[in-house]
Structure 1
Amino acid sequence: MNSIKIAVGTISKLKLRAVANAFNRAGINAKIAGYQVKSDVPKQPFSEKEIVAGATNRAQNALGKSKDADYGLGIESGIALKNKKYFELAACIVVNQKGEIVGEAFSAAVETPTKVVQLIKANDSEAGVVAQELGGIQEKDPFLWYTGKKMGRDKILEDAIFLALCREFLNPEAYK
């Protein structure tokens, strides 16, 4: 199979590593290029709507920056309120050359401590920055801190990216 070209709406090494691992796991030969693009949502999204919009915008904006990509892929992490508690999660969106969504998935969600949400709001910050400060971790990775360094954001994102490949790549027949 020839390789496909994926324009990813991030230059984060952690996220690009997760994208590469997901495509590898899927058995898809992909050339991955990261692009610094705008999400057009707040730097710390606080709803599923903002998270999905950010991922979609990143996928479409990366595709627009690339000269020859077959697909755009966007990842946006954020915090959403569920049952009076906050949860950190991410959305992954895949768009084709027409900008149409051909893949969409969410990561697992982990409860976000109230003190983290309070600090984000008080300091106009982000979960990753607060996790670095409070948890003493090197990467901007709340999952790593919340799980006591047992599971990082890269694994969570890899799973979401892998699942976003179902409709277009892994089993299109199931979605007809």
Structure 2
Amino acid sequence: MFTQCKGALMRVSFSAARFVVSDIDRSLAFYEGVLGMKPTHWFRYSDPDIVEVTLTDGDGRPCVVLLAGEEAPVHSGMKTYGPVVFFVEDAMAASADIAAAGYDLAIDPPVSLGPAVAAMALDPDGYQIELLSFAPGVDPASLLAAPPEDAPQAVVPHPAGWIHQQLLR
């Protein structure tokens, strides 16, 4: 996909979300141990002392970069960020796994949104992580397609207001 950006034609694609974390091992326990991501690249820098770890999703694509170090301020507890959304096979089961591992759920129980289920958790530094799953046979891309002009349009409230109230409690 090409996007016109300040006069230059460029290809834009997603690389990864970078989280500045307070403890790389504690964050790896969450992203690798609970969510099943795989660390593929470790970078250690000196002056200042910084560690950066790239994690891949189930398809081997980079999706999260964790960065920790003496010159990297952690944005812990800031409720204005995110959430970062990950597709999972079963959001209900993922939510239960996260709670069983001792991490906080921002929404408990997960919310059913038509053909989707959304779970919300907080990583060890307070970043909002949304886990989204779909009913069997539902292609998430099909939900993003524009409906035909003659299709009836249902007006239903979006759950964002309720979700934000849950996150700010």
State the TM bucket, normalised to the shorter chain: under 0.3
Normalized per residue, the structure richer in helix is 1
RCO higher in structure (CA 8 A, sep ≥6): 1
The TM-score with structure 2 as length reference comes to 0.24
Structure having the higher Rg:
2
The TM-score with structure 1 as length reference comes to 0.23
Normalized per residue, the structure richer in strand is 2
